[in-house]
Amino acid sequence: MKSYLFILRKPAHSGAFVQEMLDIILTTAAFDQKTSLLLLDDAVFQLKNGQQPEQFDMKDTASIYHALEIYDVKTIYAEIESLEERGLKPGNLCLPVQSVYRKDITTLMRRHDVLFPG
Looking at residue 12, its pLDDT comes to 77
- Give alpha helix (H) positions in the chain: 17-30, 61-67, 80-85, 105-110
Residue 101 · residue 80 · CB < 8 Å: yes
Looking at residue 17, its pLDDT comes to 81
Going by pLDDT thresholds of 50, 70 and 90, the confidence category of residue 49 is confident
Stronger pLDDT, 40 or 1, i.e. the higher one: 40
Bridge partner residues of 75 (DSSP):
36
Looking at residue 7, its pLDDT comes to 97
pLDDT in tens, 64-101: 888 898 999 989 999 999 999 999 998 899 899 999 99
Looking at residue 65, its pLDDT comes to 85
Q: What is the pTM of this model?
A: 0.90
